[in-house]
Amino acid sequence: MAKRFCNLINGERIKEGSQGTFKNINPADRSDVIGIFPKSGKAEVNAAVRAAKKAFESWRLVPAPKRGEILKRAGDLLVKYKEQLAELETREMGKILDETRGDVQEGIDTAYYMAGEGRRMFGDTVPCELPNKSGFSIRQPVGVCGMITPWNFPLAIPTWKVFPALVCGNTVVIKPATDTPATVVRFGEILEEAGLPAGCYNVVCGSGGQVGVPLCEHPDVRAVSFTGSTSVGSQIAEICGRLNKKVSLEMGGKNAQIVMDDADLDLALQGALWGAFGTSGQRCTATSRLILHKKIAAKFTRMLVRAAKSLRVGNGLNPKTQMGPVINKTAQADILEYIRIGQEEDGADLILGGKPLRRGRYARGSFIEPTIFNNVTPKMRIFWEEIFGPVLSVSVVSSFDQAIKYINQSHFGLSSSIYTKDVNRAFQAIRDIEAGITYINGPTIGAEIQLPFGGVKGTGNGHRESSHTVLDMFSEWKSVYVDFSGKLQRAQIDTE
Ligand code: UN1
């Protein structure tokens, strides 16, 4: 019998879902059922928001340093359960254990960083233009925050949203991706063990239509934070725009790595392999395009194909595996469709992979070979569209300027990378690449939590996660004026 998982509403575990149940299966082995989850709807959303609204009344009054202490304990518990959580994540998401350990570590880092914010949360203290008057600004919580999180970072991304929201004094209703709800439910148990009061963190499992939409539309949800696809993000933006809600969107990417003619090619190769095939290419930050200077292109492409061919694909629980499955059968079909499109593009050459792996130990999972296309140009769809799988498009350019032009030919602008030993070029790239993140001599993946995370153009709507900048999403500024003159002083008028 598969384990039954529950929604978490007001500190209670609720097994039944108003819309039935759904199964969570291991993408590397469909016979491995992680659990049965409640399929929820509007009724559960309403109950969860009611609980969060009630909990907000007292949570907002807990001093921020005390809220931070609970986060610190949550971080300690994530350390304690790191291995257990990593295994659970690998089972439900598929990526290899090294990566799920990193995913949990990102949650730990965020817990400790945000615990510290409980004692910082800086505002401004400024001089006032009138005598005997003081001015300063403080951060205030927004209220109940709705969160809709993706399956590719089952713990890290929820923690990016939940910890800053909580330290600011908000309460949370979260809808995890239906492919990876177990980690988010387990995270709730950990927050409870850390001492978070009931109702501050509520989990409602179910689909985007049945849970996500009512959550965004609920009048008591004041802010919505979303990470996922561009199409869903746009729907959320419409709802939140219509209802005047704060909304943070973290959506697609079509990230590229440039390799210049003076680059350390061995280093650039390691970066490209990790960026393109880590997490089976299923990161918003994944390297989807490689832009090679023509002087090194032939040699580098040979090195790349040789190395990518030897990647060991398999079940992420096996420590020898280097690349796991993709998330589910639908994703596998979508990626294969892109590979078909690539093969039909005039001039693109499939130089590695391109096929699903379906036999023997792959029979019960959703696997795809590491895939590389060469001679990809801006005329082609695979140059522009996010594939979210282990598919890398290689383009060849004849100059630095053309490389920058290619990298900016994208509707997205999340991550970017350039390998060069020329410091002037490195700084020009930092200035000229249109992206929220630029790496010099490093791959497009691997952001650390103490710097802002997010992108420009179609990637997002101007918000950033991580670092202190995420506090702008989960708090409202209040400006405070204290007039201790004992008389009416009119700003801008009584200036003499
Ligand atoms: C994502 O792909 O949605 O920078 C998040 C990285 C990770 C986070 C990725 N730290 O690759």
pLDDT along the chain (496 residues), means of 10: 94 97 98 98 98 99 98 99 98 98 98 98 97 98 98 98 99 98 98 98 98 98 98 98 98 97 98 98 98 98 98 98 98 98 96 98 98 98 98 98 98 98 98 98 98 98 98 98 98 90
- Of 104, 108, 153, the residue with max ligand 1 atoms within 8 A of its CB, to mutate for a pocket test, comes to 153
Q: Which fold has domain 7-251+460-480?
A: Aldehyde Dehydrogenase; Chain A, domain 1 (3.40.605)
Residue 97 confidence (pLDDT): 98
What's residue 446's pLDDT? 97
Is 284 assigned a catalytic role?
Answer: yes
If we measure between CA atoms, which residue out of 443, 347, 336 comes closest to residue 391?
Answer: 336
Determine which one of 44, 200, 284, 386 is catalytic: 284
Q: Is 183 left (phi over 0), alpha (psi -120 to 50) or beta?
A: alpha
Ligand 1 mean position to 147 CA, how many Å?
17
* Pocket-testing residue among 101, 284, 444, ligand 1, by greatest number of atoms within 8 A of Cβ: 284
For residue 422, give the DSSP letter.
-
**Ligand 1 close to Cβ of residue 115 (< 6 A):** no
Q: Is the CB of 293 under 6 A from ligand 1?
A: no
Question: Cα(233)–Cα(377) distance, rounded to whole angstroms?
Answer: 28
For residue 339, report the distance from its CA to the centre of ligand 1, in Å.
Answer: 24
**Count of Cβ atoms closer than 10 Å to residue 333 Cβ:** 12
Q: How far is the CA of 384 from the centre of ligand 1 (A)?
A: 20
Q: Is 95 in the pocket of ligand 1 (CB under 6 A)?
A: no
**φ, ψ at 422 (rounded to 5°):** -90, 110
Domain residue ranges in the chain: 7-251+460-480, 255-440
444 lines ligand 1 (CB under 6 A): no
The CA distance from 42 to 30, in Å, is 30
C-alpha of residue 105 to centroid of ligand 1, in Å? 12
User: Is the CB of 155 within 6 Å of ligand 1?
Assistant: no
Tokens 């995913």 found at: 103
Q: Are 355 and 368 in contact (CB under 8 A)?
A: yes
Question: What phi and psi values does residue 7 have, to the nearest 5 degrees?
Answer: -70, 160
How far apart, in whole angstroms, are the C-alpha atoms of residue 405 and residue 384?
13
Ligand 1 center from residue 68 Cα (angstroms): 24
Catalytic residue, from 89, 92, 106, 250: name it: 250
CB neighbours (10 Å) of residue 493? 8
**What is the predicted pLDDT for the residue at 173?**
99
55 touches ligand 1 (CB under 6 Å)? no
- Look-up: residue for tokens 């059922």? 33
Token duo for residue 344: 């039909």
State the Cα–Cα distance between residues 206 and 93, nearest whole angstrom. 17
Does residue 151 have its Cβ closer than 6 Å to ligand 1? no
Question: Do residues 418 and 257 lie in contact, with contact meaning Cβ atoms separated by under 8 Å?
Answer: yes
* 167-201 exposure pattern, b = at least 16 Cβ within 10 A, e = fewer: bbbbbbbbbbbbbbbbbbbbbbebbbebebeebbb
pTM over 0.95: yes
* β 171-175/144-148 pair status: parallel
CA of 40 from ligand 1 middle (Å) equals 28
Strands, DSSP E only, in 336-414?
Answer: 349-352, 356-357, 367-368, 371-374, 391-397, 412-413
Q: Which atom of ligand 1 is nearest to the CA of 445?
A: 11
User: Which one-letter DSSP state was computed for residue 164?
Assistant: H
What's the maximum distance between 2 C-alpha atoms anywhere in the chain?
86
Which residues, in sequence order, are CB contacts of 421 under 8 Å at separation 6+?
A: 262, 263, 264
Fold that domain 255-440 belongs to in CATH: Aldehyde Dehydrogenase; Chain A, domain 2 (3.40.309)
Strand segments (E) across 39-170: 125-127, 133-141, 144-148
pLDDT the model gives residue 466: 97
Let me know how many helices (H) and strands (E) the chain has, helices first.
15, 23
Tokens standing for residue 495: 């200036």
The verdict on the CB of residue 446 being under 6 Å from ligand 1 is yes
Q: Pick the atom of ligand 1 nearest to 437's CA.
A: 4
Which of 453, 464, 467 maximizes ligand 1 atoms within 8 Å of its Cβ, making it the mutation to test the pocket? 453
Please, is 366 exposed, middle or buried when counting C-beta atoms within 10 Å of its C-beta (0-12, 13-18, 19+)?
buried
Counting from 1 in the atom list of ligand 1, the atom nearest the Cα of 285 is: 2
Q: C-alpha distances in angstroms, 160 versus 82, 135, 296, 473?
A: 17, 31, 39, 11
Whether the CB-CB separation of 68 and 74 falls below 8 Å is answered with no
